[in-house]
Structure 1
Amino acid sequence: MDAHLSTDASVGERYAQAMRDLFPGPSNRSLTYDLAKYDRLKAASPNEKIKLRDCGGDFDVKKAATVEFWRMHLDRKRPLGISPVMDDGNCLWGCIDDDVYGSDRRSELLKLIALAKLPLVMCESKSGGSHLYLFLSEPASAGEVYKALTAFAAKLGLKEFDLFPSNPDGITSSQVNMPYLGEERWYIDQGGLTKTLGEFLDAAEKAKVSVRAMRTAARIANASQASDADNDAVAEPQNGTMGDAEQRLELWKARFADRAPVDLRYVHANKILAAAAYDLGRWVRDCGLSEFAAHDAMRQAWLTRKAEEGGDEATFDDIWKRQYAEGFAKGSPAKVSPGATLPYFERVQYERDDKGKKVYLIQIEGKIVQATTPELTDWKKFNDCCVEYLSKRITYIRSKEIWGKYIQRGLDIEEEIPQEYITSEAELFREQLESFLVDYYRAETREAILLGKPWEDEDHFRYVFRMMDLEKHLRSLSSRFVVESRTALGKRIRALDGDDTNLRIRGKVVNVFWVPSRHFQATPTIPPHTFEPDPL
């Protein structure tokens, strides 16, 4: 039994106060319902979602969530729901309610959250889904929180979900059914284990981020989504989905229509057909693509092309039958450009640096590659970028002319990143440096610098850190600055009035960098709640 269920009134009171502080809401509104009636309805229809309005009671209470209300909630006597939008239109928390149920779903989400490095904490929901909480160390407008949660949900590929705040204008919001209703709706850690309320409060405190860090995470999520905003399917890392299969079919039709292909292997219609039949056979077997649709589309495209080159349907049938059978036997199609050694640009976005030059964010195989214009136009330099961001070389084209034609197709679909997600290069570096210095778990002592943590030297009013640890943090953000040399990063640090120096730590001389703490707003430190040990 968790300590919040203890019969000790003082222990329960402190937990109730801690939860009230963590989940502030409006001063004139909260939610509750008749729990006994809800339990009866749920027992009668265990597989149906029960509407709370059918449960009676004071559904919409014209009163804030008090400590007493929280105490009753934790004791499973009076359920509590709260809106994250406070009276001033700001929020200190937000929530994504994923309505897909099951432990396997939660395990999948936890992996995606960790992979994307999203500042979200998972709890069980009332209906059996998941509540993904965002906690802030400072107030943010409800509209900004809504925008960030929208980006996070898209990054996770969610299909059936609700957001709290529940609309972009931030004026009103529905209430969220709060966690820890007795022995229900507990926090789930990264390992998939349910944890006590005390552990949840600790996790929530550690997960708090500044508004700036929230914006950075949202911008990265927007820039690295595996599809545009209208496509809410979960992108699969290896095998394709039905949507990918239909897109693949369109790509092969385009190859037949291309009279001046970049890849010289696809000049002749029969070679295109052989590669297409093999590739589409794989997609038909494992991704639900219709064999009839694939056959009919390729037959029409081939006949149109062969009208110029000459050929009959018997030739088509012979090539299709052999190559399609081989592809169908293999299955498991990979999400790459059909039959090409050239990278497939899934999405091309750009922003401009301080000098007005474009910096490209190019999506390849679901990951983001950052490149400047000189790096993009030189296939050797672009390969270096791919090694940095994809951990592999992506192309071996030797011809500048062919590479030029190919990237032009990527430039034809380029789009500028919306202005609200663009920051100047100097400000972006300062922002990402700040997230390293104040949003990460900081060193308590100078010795902990050796563990990769930044340390605040309060005697000299500065933050101290190793360059290698900053570089690791930049890589975790897929930052454009990760490709810069240490000399270039050092210049950016010195532009912030910082410098490097040597410290003796445990008898070892360590080269470190430092920046004045006045340039950074530290995350407010909230005194931890102290709780008595669980008497059990």
Structure 2
Amino acid sequence: MGAGMNLAQRFMAAFEGFSAAHGQTQISEERRAGKQKAKSFIVRQPLTLELIEGHLAGAKGVGSIPIKENNKCSFGALDIDQYPLDLAAIDKRLRDNDIPAVVCRSKSGGAHIFFFFTEEIGAGEFRDKAGEISAFLGYGGCEVFPKQEQLLVERGDVGNFINLPYFDSEQTMRYAIKEDGDEAEIEEFLELVEARRCTPDAFVTLSLGRSLDEFMEYPPCMQSLFSVGVPEGTRNIVMFGTCVACKKEQPENWKGRLEEINMSHVQPPLPASEMVIIQTQHEKKEYGFPCQQEPFKSRCNKTLCKTKQFGIGGGSASADITGLCVVKSEPPVWFCDVDGKRVELITEELQTPQKFQKACMEQIHQMPPLMKLGDWQAMVTMLMSDMSEIEVPEELTYKGQFMDFLEEFCTGRVQAASPEELALGKPWTEDGLTYFRIESLIKYLRNNRFDTYSRGQIQERLKEMNPDGNASGQKKFKGSDGQWKNIRVWHIPAFSSEVEAPDIDIQGEDIPF
């Protein structure tokens, strides 16, 4: 790939994604948890070469949506938001384990680990393996792009985007890491992309650490720990957590199984006295996995763990809810990912745990455990702080719908033949203004089932349409009886109904009929 293409074209080809939309991010100076706060929004326009050139020149940063309309992707990424990070060390570990990836610095100083493919890979396949890789690296729980396995394109869904590297490429802070640990120029980055592309089959069959068949049904975090070695200073908590899995695997001989693992896979083994303490604790009480404690937390792959016979199990753990997007229609439509599956929501379903659970049951045939209301509100607040906004045409907003009905009312078939007919509820247009009684407009809106705006909101919309903000007054006219009359009316600039016909240049001789 790349023959005959310039840098921008090659860069664009590397990040080919959803064809009908792209992302943009507005960055503020304010920071949250070490990361610059930003507003992310999705523009329903293709990611064009012109936009890519502007990105590389530092004019406007853009992002690509990895998942395509066919639910496949040509690239994917891990987004690690931990600070500070040793990017060169991450790159070296990937290379030492023959994991084909390109490590880039993110805009906030974290890491974007990109994977590029010779042909499209299913989004679900990519997410499964990328989750394993993140746990293997010790960054379990980091964001995986694409964030979903399937898009609801027919409902207006477009997925989530990831910001692209090499913004303002000549002096960028979003650079790739070369093998010597130095920053890569954009040409060198594109060479890394080509050198580290792999086939989907090679990616999904990557071997991570030593293969230990005896732990195939254990939680992924334990598989990772026992394949690469238990970190120093963590033997007690590792064996405590492993005991939970042993009791699932061998309920009648869990003590013996735990001792066997301690002697075979922990170096040096935990002393017998400390093993007895752990066993005594588990005799007195049924414990769950210490998933939120290290070294388990950084190696967590919750989605995969639910599929393991001796893992957390499908019914006992909370769902992994990520990737919140809002379509800025009125009313808004929300999308989120539940264990990688896309769910469409109305505001009330996002606000209420029970209604969210019902939406999941109906759409993805999954019943996430209910959370306490306070915990749910905290989680949704966190998701909203980092959500993507999907812009929509004005006609999908309440204001756009109101304007459409207003134009129909003012220009439709029922027009006043004289100002006197204003009293009959008909609009009258003269001198560039259309006059009407507001009661007549409200009745028209209600007859067309537009009851979203109150009378006060309708008045404000009408005022906004007039340059001086004055939209009401008295209309004086002479009636058919010759008497002058006044009627209270509202007015707006007249809608243009003229259609300009292009000039037609007819050349040659006239052709008779």
TM-score by length of 2: 0.43
Structure with greater proportional strand content? 2
Structure with greater proportional helix content? 1
- Which structure has the larger Rg? 2
